[in-house]
C-alpha cells in the first residue's frame, strides 16, 4: 500500500458547536473550507450532521486522506472523534462530491421509513457509506 492507494476513513463525532448542534451557517462554513481542500487533494466524501453527531466519509489517495483526517481530528468544533474504518477502498462511493452534505431534513425523511436512523451510528464503513448514499438519493428525489 503506498500513498496513492485509494483509501477510506469513516468516523463519527459529537458536535460541540454553540447551541449543541451545527446550524446551517456553521455547516456551510465547514463545507466551504472542506470542499476547497478536498478538491486540491482529490478527496471526495459525504458529511452528515443529525442533532449531536457528525458522520463523515473521506475517500481518496491514502496520504491526503490520512493528513486531512489528522486536521479534522484536531478541530475544536467536535469531540469524541471515533474512527469507524480506515482501510483501502476498491471504488469511490461519492466520486461526484468534493464533500456532499447530507442535510438534517433528509435524515428526517429517512426516519419516516426507518426510525433507527435517528442518531444513526453505523458499525462499519460500508454501512455508513450505503446509508449516506441512500439519504442523499432520497433528498434529491
Rounded to whole angstroms, the Cα distance separating 72 from 81 reads: 9
Choices 32-40, 59-67, 110-118, 122-130; region in contact with ligand FMN by CB under 6 A: 32-40
CB atoms within 10 A of CB 109: 15
Choices 74-82, 87-95, 106-114, 127-135; region in contact with ligand FMN by CB under 6 A: 74-82
Per CB under 6 A, 44 contacts ligand FMN: no
**Which residue from 84, 86, 85, 88 is spatially nearest to 121, judged by alpha carbons?**
84
C-alpha cell belonging to residue 69: 483526517
C-alpha cell belonging to residue 65: 486522506
Per CB under 6 A, 120 contacts ligand FMN: no
Per CB under 6 A, 75 contacts ligand FMN: yes
Residues at the interface with ligand FMN (CB under 6 A): 30, 33-34, 37-38, 47, 54, 56, 58, 68, 71-72, 75, 77-78, 99
Amino acid at each position: 500500500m503506498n500513498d496513492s492507494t485509494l483509501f477510506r476513513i469513516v468516523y463519527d463525532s459529537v458536535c460541540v458547536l454553540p447551541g449543541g448542534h451545527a446550524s446551517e451557517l456553521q455547516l456551510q462554513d465547514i463545507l466551504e473550507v472542506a470542499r476547497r481542500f478536498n478538491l486540491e487533494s482529490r478527496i471526495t466524501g459525504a458529511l452528515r450532521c443529525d442533532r449531536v453527531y457528525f458522520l463523515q466519509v473521506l475517500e481518496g489517495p491514502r496520504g491526503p486522506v490520512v493528513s486531512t483526517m489528522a486536521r479534522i481530528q484536531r478541530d475544536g468544533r467536535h469531540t469524541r472523534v471515533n474512527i469507524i474504518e480506515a482501510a483501502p477502498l476498491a471504488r469511490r462511493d461519492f466520486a461526484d462530491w468534493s464533500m456532499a452534505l447530507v442535510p438534517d431534513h433528509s435524515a428526517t425523511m429517512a426516519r419516516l421509513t426507518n426510525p433507527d436512523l435517528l442518531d444513526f451510528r453505523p458499525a462499519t464503513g460500508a454501512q455508513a457509506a450505503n446509508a449516506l448514499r441512500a439519504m442523499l438519493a432520497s433528498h434529491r428525489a
